[in-house]
Protein backbone atom coordinates (compact mmCIF):
# COMPACT_ATOMS: atom_id res chain seq x y z
CA UNK A 1 0.00 0.00 0.00
CA UNK A 2 1.41 3.38 -1.03
CA UNK A 3 0.36 6.82 0.19
CA UNK A 4 -1.37 8.80 -2.56
CA UNK A 5 -1.79 12.07 -0.67
CA UNK A 6 -4.25 14.14 1.32
CA UNK A 7 -7.69 15.35 0.25
CA UNK A 8 -7.43 19.14 -0.01
CA UNK A 9 -10.90 19.90 -1.35
CA UNK A 10 -13.91 18.54 -3.18
CA UNK A 11 -15.24 19.71 -6.52
CA UNK A 12 -17.92 18.40 -8.88
CA UNK A 13 -18.39 15.16 -6.90
CA UNK A 14 -14.64 14.47 -6.96
CA UNK A 15 -12.06 14.46 -4.20
CA UNK A 16 -9.00 16.57 -5.08
CA UNK A 17 -5.91 14.98 -3.58
CA UNK A 18 -2.46 16.64 -3.30
CA UNK A 19 0.41 14.21 -3.85
CA UNK A 20 3.27 14.44 -1.31
CA UNK A 21 5.92 14.18 -4.06
CA UNK A 22 6.35 13.64 -7.82
CA UNK A 23 5.25 9.99 -7.71
CA UNK A 24 1.57 9.38 -8.26
CA UNK A 25 -0.62 6.42 -9.19
CA UNK A 26 -1.88 5.81 -12.70
CA UNK A 27 -5.39 6.72 -13.81
CA UNK A 28 -7.71 3.87 -12.84
CA UNK A 29 -5.84 2.96 -9.64
CA UNK A 30 -8.06 2.05 -6.68
CA UNK A 31 -7.90 4.35 -3.66
CA UNK A 32 -8.51 3.38 -0.01
CA UNK A 33 -8.52 5.20 3.32
CA UNK A 34 -6.50 4.35 6.46
CA UNK A 35 -9.04 1.66 7.38
CA UNK A 36 -8.56 0.02 3.95
CA UNK A 37 -12.11 0.90 2.92
CA UNK A 38 -12.34 1.17 -0.87
CA UNK A 39 -13.30 4.76 -1.72
CA UNK A 40 -12.93 5.11 -5.48
CA UNK A 41 -10.53 5.43 -8.41
CA UNK A 42 -8.12 8.01 -9.78
CA UNK A 43 -9.69 9.60 -12.86
CA UNK A 44 -7.21 12.41 -13.61
CA UNK A 45 -3.75 13.72 -12.73
CA UNK A 46 -3.07 17.44 -13.14
CA UNK A 47 -1.02 20.37 -11.89
CA UNK A 48 2.71 20.77 -11.24
CA UNK A 49 5.01 17.84 -11.96
CA UNK A 50 6.79 17.97 -8.59
CA UNK A 51 3.55 17.67 -6.52
CA UNK A 52 0.60 16.86 -8.77
CA UNK A 53 -3.07 16.81 -7.86
CA UNK A 54 -5.27 13.76 -8.37
CA UNK A 55 -8.98 13.77 -9.11
CA UNK A 56 -10.59 10.78 -7.39
CA UNK A 57 -14.08 9.62 -8.34
CA UNK A 58 -15.73 8.18 -5.25
CA UNK A 59 -17.85 5.04 -5.09
CA UNK A 60 -21.06 4.69 -3.15
CA UNK A 61 -22.37 7.13 -0.62
CA UNK A 62 -19.23 8.80 0.69
CA UNK A 63 -19.83 12.17 2.40
CA UNK A 64 -17.41 14.36 0.42
CA UNK A 65 -16.88 17.25 2.87
CA UNK A 66 -15.92 14.78 5.61
CA UNK A 67 -12.97 13.57 3.50
CA UNK A 68 -11.10 16.90 3.48
CA UNK A 69 -7.85 16.37 5.38
CA UNK A 70 -8.00 12.56 5.04
CA UNK A 71 -4.93 10.67 3.82
CA UNK A 72 -5.60 8.27 0.96
CA UNK A 73 -3.61 5.28 -0.22
CA UNK A 74 -3.27 3.30 -3.47
CA UNK A 75 -4.10 -0.36 -3.28
- Are the C-beta atoms of residues 73 and 19 closer than 8 Å to each other? no
| Predicted confidence (pLDDT) per residue in 4-24, tens digit | 999 999 998 899 999 999 998
Mean pLDDT, to the nearest integer, of 53-74? 91
Look at residue 43 and tell me if it is in a domain: yes
Count up the domains in the chain and report the number. 1
Q: State pTM to two decimals.
A: 0.90
Banded model confidence at residue 54, pLDDT cuts 50, 70, 90: very high
Helix (H, G, I), strand (E, B) or coil at 7: strand
Q: Note whether residue 67 is domain-resident.
A: no
pLDDT number for residue 10: 93
Q: pLDDT-derived band of residue 64, with 50, 70 and 90 as boundaries?
A: confident
> Which domain covers residue 39, as residue numbers?
2-62
CATH number, domain at 58?
2.40.10.230
> Is the pLDDT confidence value at 75 over 90?
no
**Separation between Cα atoms, residue 61 and residue 45, nearest integer Å:** 23
Amino acid sequence: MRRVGEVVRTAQNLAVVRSPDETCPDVGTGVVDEDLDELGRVVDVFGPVDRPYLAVSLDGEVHLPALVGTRLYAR
